[in-house]
Amino acid sequence: MSVTVSVIVPTHHRPHFLSRTIDSLLGQTYPHIEIVVVDDNEPGSQARERTEHVMAKYADYRNILYVQNPHPLGGGPARNAGIQACHGEYVTFLDDDDIYLPEKVDTQLSYMLENDLDMSFTDVFLYGADEKLKEYRRHTYVQDCSNPELMRQHVIHSICPTSSYMVKRSLLLQTDGFRDVSMGQDFMLMYDLIESDAKIGYLPVSYIIQYLHGEGRISVGQNKINGENNLFAFKKTKFDILNREERRYVRFRHYAVLCVAYLRSKKPLHALRYAAAAFFCSPALVIREMKNFFRNRRLAKKNRGNA
């Protein structure tokens, strides 16, 4: 295969992680990769200067494109700037503190070409800052990739994160890429791609490690909480495509996510409140999801051990 895949890496206030991310992309088994680093730091700031210092180490790499935004745009618009600047026929995304395992691009591109897909998504490993596995996020609920069924499952479960996506660049340009929202950018992109009637497939493997920590991530703290509330409000506008039990699950999942978010924010009383809300919403779902969590974690350790 000689198809070029562009990997968009927006970076903001995390130059100390950036080399690890870029090196994981340089270590891909697929050779035709363009790495597009989009610097979304304020010009003249210490973060911009430190990022420039990191990128100077890669100045001689012809497959690395360094884009500097004139001012901070935010995650979605920064990724859109990368889409506009890149040259690949297919595009993937990676945050500046996460990594791809070596076979990620090769495996996902082969799957897309073999099945003539416009877009695909995979599973993802979630690790703590201590390099220990915390969760294996799988999308095994997806049994049918028709667009109406994908939309239903997306509203119920949220088919994310962005790093698991591979999309034809032409489709991203056609659908205007990421929306400028503070939270749920990956959810809204998938929503828009499903609505565009794209041909989408699910590859049930993971070659991605996403790290859970508090260093600048939007997915922690009050940003996470506000974002989840906004996302839940949006999902409720689509409740007409769900049955009663599915709507119950969306509410349960919302309460459970807020419980975890408040725990990570060190607000145990708020966490307890939402833990109780999740339990009273459906005790059976609490038991089922706990079993699934530990089952997925055991499976992830087994898979990583065989890699």
58 in Cβ contact with 23 (< 8 Å): no
- pLDDT single digits (tens) 118-173: 999 999 999 988 888 888 999 999 999 999 999 999 999 999 999 999 999 999 99
* All CATH 3.90.550.10 domain ranges in the chain, comma separated: 5-212
Residue % of the chain over a pLDDT of 90: 77
- pLDDT single digits (tens) 233-282: 999 999 999 999 999 999 999 999 899 888 878 899 999 999 999 988 88
Which pLDDT value is given to residue 57? 97
Q: 99-100 and 133-137 as β-strands: parallel, antiparallel, unpaired?
A: unpaired
- pLDDT single digits (tens) 180-210: 887 789 999 999 999 999 999 999 999 999 9
100 vs 256, which has greater pLDDT? 100
Which pLDDT value is given to residue 292? 73
Edge-to-edge order in the sheet of strand 133-137 = 99-100, 208-212, 124-128, 133-137
**pLDDT band at residue 301 under the 50/70/90 scheme:** low
Nearest CA among 173, 168, 164, 171 for reference residue 196: 171
167 in Cβ contact with 91 (< 8 Å): yes
Which pLDDT value is given to residue 221? 63
Nearest CA among 195, 200, 210, 104 for reference residue 162: 210
| CATH architecture, domain 5-212 | Alpha-Beta Complex (3.90)
Work out the mean pLDDT of the chain and round it to a whole number.
Answer: 92
- pLDDT single digits (tens) 204-222: 999 999 998 765 544 456 7
Distance CA 238, CA 156 (A): 10
| pTM for this entry | 0.88
Is 90 exceeded by the pLDDT of residue 289? no
**pLDDT band at residue 44 under the 50/70/90 scheme:** very high
221 vs 81, which has greater pLDDT? 81
Distance CA 211, CA 97 (A): 7
Which pLDDT value is given to residue 218? 44
